[in-house]
Amino acid sequence: MKCLILAAGRGSRLSEQGVPKPLLRLVGLALIERTMLTAQQAGLGNFYVVAGYEAERIKEFLSELPLRRDLKITVIQNDEWECKGNGQSVLKARGFLEDNFILLMADHIFEQASLIDLMKEDLGDCEVLLGADFNIGQNKLVDTQDVTKVSVKDQLILDIGKNIEGFDAYDTGMFLCSPAVFDALEQSCRDGDTSLSGGVRILARQDQAKVFDIGGNYWIDVDDKKALQKAEHTLLATLKKENDGPISRYFNRPLSIEISRHLVKTSITPNWISFLSFFLCCLGGVFFFLGGYLNLVLGGILAQVSSIIDGCDGEIARLKFQATEFGGWFDAVLDRYADAFLLLGLTFYVTSSNGDFLYILIGFMAIIGTFMNSYTADKYDGLMRKRIEAKAHRFRIGRDVRIFIILLGCLVNQPFLTLVVLAVVTNTENVRRIVILYKNGSDGLSAGRRKKRNITNE
């Protein structure tokens, strides 16, 4: 299916930024690039962009985009963008779109799931299906004074516009269109209304304009500075994970998101961030080998900083659509090496003054418990995703907790006790997971296999 994106308007409320609104940066990506990549993840790859204001700058940017992303882009010029409405921009694409197509706005940020569900809907030969937001009293991302409103009855659009009364939903700017929309827009233009809403009203009078409820999924029209800030906050909030451990959820993640908010504006890649986290953790282990309380504390602090940075690689990958299977695997491999080196350094620290075999044994148990903690996480998390309603089983010991235990142990100068706690906690957690998976039979294991997930959340 082809995708038409409207990017012809001036965006006067954001014009002081010095760039056309479609090229305005939002957490590291231009608005139109973010729209395209979200659509690409939903299964689209062939894009037609209608440009008007600053069309040459937009063309130049889009000409380089396929070199970095696997996209096919055709730019359509609309020289009437200033005197006519956005319905005229849609009409400019008539010769390019002969089958059903998706219609999006370059300055709308939306959830990928909404577009995936919209594309699954059945569409009649002469119909248009609008993605509609029925949370009119709850959606705080919407500018209620400027948003296009929709009056609906039995999933049919009765009326649409910014100033209608008795509305039931908001227009999200996402459409699944049949080519019949072009005839409707031509008729609307002849009647003096060159807006997209005008064409939808023509189809509505024929019972050919319907709505699709996007549910609770977020969307936002980035039309001014306030909306731009809301969009950034919304995208950053999506970085939180359901399976984050307690330390990650309440300590690491808020800090890593703040760091990612700045890193995403640079050219640094997720894999380099993974390597930086690995280097900091290993450096912490080196300080343990040096001995002394100050080095112990510095090692613990570096380990904790590494744990925080470890969340940034995945966050940057999601924000900039750079997530790869290799990246997840690479991060997991580096984490295991870093964990081993860190615990080896801590074991050396407690045995350097006393070669008691007990210290070596406890250190070994801490290392093997940590490794098995990571290994069992894959199957265990797969089961928890399947049975997330089982609140009693949502407790999780992960890498965030382990590193934080090391930090606390170093601060209070109890390295041996730290190894004991890690040995007990990790191996007890492994036994607990074995019991839970055993009680739930082979379904938990097969669910984990079906997910085919790398151990990326440790």
The span from the CA of 234 to the CA of 139, in Å, is 12
pLDDT of residue 355: 67
CA within 13 Å, CB half, 119: 18
| pTM, 2 dp | 0.81
| CATH code of the domain in which 217 resides | 3.90.550.10
The span from the CA of 173 to the CA of 219, in Å, is 9
Instruction: Sort 292 into a burial class: Cβ within 10 Å, 0-12 / 13-18 / 19+.
Output: exposed
Domain closes at, from 234, 256, 273:
234
Question: What is the pairing mode between strands 149-153 and 169-177?
Answer: antiparallel
pLDDT of residue 390: 46
Angle at 86 (CA atoms; ends 83, 90), nearest 5 degrees:
120
Identify the sign of the CA torsion 313, 317, 322, 326: positive
- Give me the residue label for tokens 């019991």: 435
pLDDT of residue 221: 94
Same domain, 91 and 52: yes
Residues 6+ apart with CB under 8 A from 336: 371, 374
For the stretch 226-252, pLDDT in tens is 999 999 999 999 998 877 888 998 999
pLDDT of residue 392: 44
Q: Give the count of domains, the chain.
A: 2
Which DSSP category does 388 fall into?
T
The span from the CA of 51 to the CA of 213, in Å, is 29
Per-residue pLDDT of the chain (458 residues; tens, 9 = 90+): 999 999 998 877 776 667 889 999 999 999 999 999 999 999 999 999 999 999 999 999 999 999 888 899 999 999 999 889 999 999 999 999 999 999 999 999 999 999 999 999 999 889 999 999 999 878 889 988 889 999 999 999 999 999 998 899 999 999 999 999 999 999 999 999 999 999 999 999 999 999 999 998 999 999 989 999 999 999 999 998 877 888 998 999 999 999 999 999 999 999 999 999 999 999 999 999 999 999 999 999 999 999 999 999 999 999 999 988 888 888 888 888 888 889 888 888 888 866 677 778 888 888 888 877 777 776 666 666 565 444 444 566 788 888 999 999 999 999 989 999 988 988 888 888 777 777 765 444 444 444 443 333 33
Q: Using an 8 Å Cβ cutoff, are 80 and 88 in contact?
A: yes
Domain that holds residue 430: 241-451
| SS3 label, residue 79 | coil
Residues 6+ apart with CB under 8 A from 354: none
Query: Residue 155 carries which side chain, given as an amino acid letter?
Result: Q
Same domain, 75 and 143: yes
Say if 458 falls within a structural domain.
no
Number of H-type helices and E-type strands within the chain: 16, 13
| CATH code of the domain in which 419 resides | 1.20.120.1760
Say if 260 falls within a structural domain.
yes
Instruction: Sort 18 into a burial class: Cβ within 10 Å, 0-12 / 13-18 / 19+.
Output: exposed
Among 67, 419, 381, which residue's Cα sits nearest to residue 242?
381
Say if 457 falls within a structural domain.
no
Same domain, 402 and 269: yes
